[in-house]
Structure 1
Amino acid sequence: MAIRVLALVGSLRAGSHNRQLAEAAVKHAPDGVTVEIFEGLGEVPFYNEDLDAEANTPEQARRLRAAVSEADALLLFSPEYNGTMPAVLKNAIDWISRPHGAGVIKNKPAAVAGTAAGQYGGVWAQEEIRKSLGIAGAKVVDEVLLAVPGSVNRFAETHPEKDAEVIESLCKVLDRLSSDTMAA
């Protein structure tokens, strides 16, 4: 059974190190695991209950919900903005958590990874994301963490897919996500 992991990238910047980390996950996913990056996250409008009626739900939000529904697990890649998660990831979590208690994220295994310029690699943002995912109903994987510090220097000359230490850690996260998915 192939495990389908949907990656949500919290940096919309061209050349984002978190996007590159997600690309490395696609390329180096362990056997039996496929990783797909959701495209268009920045086009999902801010969550608004007035927009979230079956007939009126924006197309990008419906696409996001469908992609999450079809995936076996989620892997969110995040930088750290002002000590917390980027708005685009919080917005995605809001959309996929609705309707309250029955959103497509309910009971879905989810993990967080990322890189940031600071010395801790975005751990504050990751903590906030795991908290939000858990409240939204996901089964949060937090036994294996990946927060890569100093992204500006570390990835200045090397793409994350060529960093053996990063790939090893990324594969551990995907293995754990996979085992949690199969146990569900």
Structure 2
Amino acid sequence: MSVKVLALVGSLRSGSHNRQLAEVARSLAPSDVEIEVFDGLGDLPFYNEDIDTEADVPAAATRLRDVAGAADAFLLFAPEYNGTIPAVLKNAIDWLSRPFGAGALSGKPTAVIGTAFGQYGGVWAQDEARKSAGIAGAAIVDEVELSIPGSMTRFAETHPADDPEVVEQLATAIAKLTANVSA
């Protein structure tokens, strides 16, 4: 059985270290795990129930929901913006939480990891992302924690793929997440 993991990156910046982490995670996936890094979170309009109808749901939201619906698990990459979750990631969670009680996140193993400039690596944002995804129905995999501090200096001259500690921690995170997918 192949496990499909959807990675959502909470940074739209072209040189995003969290995006780099997601790409490294994809490259580290074992042969029975496929990690898709979703492109298009920046295209999602802010969640609004008035446009979340069969007649009006935006194409970007339909695309996200379709890809998420086919996923067995989620890996969220959360940088920290002003001490909390980035709006783009929170917005994606909001779109995936609907319809209430039956959204694409419902019951699926979900882990939150990431890197940030601060000395704690974005733990506040990651905690908020876990909270939001959990309320949206995701099955949060609490044993997966990876907060890499000092991203701007740590990855200034070294790509995350060339950092043995990061590679080992990402591989462990993937293994723990996918171990929670029901056969």
Query: Normalising to structure 2: TM-score of the pair?
Result: 0.98
Displacement of 1:182 in angstroms is: 2.9
Q: State the partner residue of 2:71.
A: 71
Distance in 2 between residues matched to 1:154 and 1:31, nearest whole Å: 29
Q: State the partner residue of 1:180.
A: 180
Identity rate, percent? 64
Q: State the partner residue of 2:33.
A: 33
Distance in 1 between residues matched to 2:152 and 2:77, nearest whole Å: 16
Q: Is the 8 A contact 2:10 2:76 kept in 1?
A: yes
Displacement of 1:42 in angstroms is: 0.6
Distance in 1 between residues matched to 2:39 and 2:144, nearest whole Å: 26
Q: Does 1:15 align with 2:15?
A: yes
Q: State the partner residue of 2:6.
A: 6
Q: State the partner residue of 2:124.
A: 124
Give SS of 2:111's match: strand
Give SS of 2:88's match: helix
Q: Is the 8 A contact 2:6 2:38 kept in 1?
A: yes
Displacement of 1:107 in angstroms is: 0.3
What does the per-residue CA deviation read over 1:122-177, in whole Å, with 9 as the maximum and x for residues that have no partner? 00000000001110000001112110000001101111111111111111111011
Give SS of 2:51's match: coil
Distance in 2 between residues matched to 1:105 and 1:182, nearest whole Å: 15
Displacement of 1:24 in angstroms is: 0.4
Q: State the partner residue of 1:138.
A: 138
User: What are structure 1's unaligned runs of at least 5 residues?
Assistant: none
Give SS of 2:74's match: strand
Q: State the partner residue of 2:95.
A: 95
Q: What amino acid does structure 1 have at the position aligned with 2:120?
A: Y
Distance in 2 between residues matched to 1:105 and 1:2, nearest whole Å: 19
Q: Is the 8 A contact 1:27 1:161 kept in 2?
A: no
Distance in 1 between residues matched to 2:3 and 2:147, nearest whole Å: 23
What does the per-residue CA deviation read over 1:62-110, in whole Å, with 9 as the maximum and x for residues that have no partner? 0000011001100011110011000001000000000111111110110
Q: Does 1:54 align with 2:54?
A: yes
Distance in 1 between residues matched to 2:60 and 2:66, nearest whole Å: 10
Q: Is the 8 A contact 2:144 2:177 kept in 1?
A: no
Displacement of 1:29 in angstroms is: 1.3
Give SS of 1:180's match: coil
Q: What amino acid does structure 1 have at the position aligned with 2:157?
A: E
Give SS of 1:174's match: helix
Q: Does 1:112 align with 2:96?
A: no
Q: CA RMSD in A?
A: 0.9
Q: What amino acid does structure 1 have at the position aligned with 2:167?
A: I
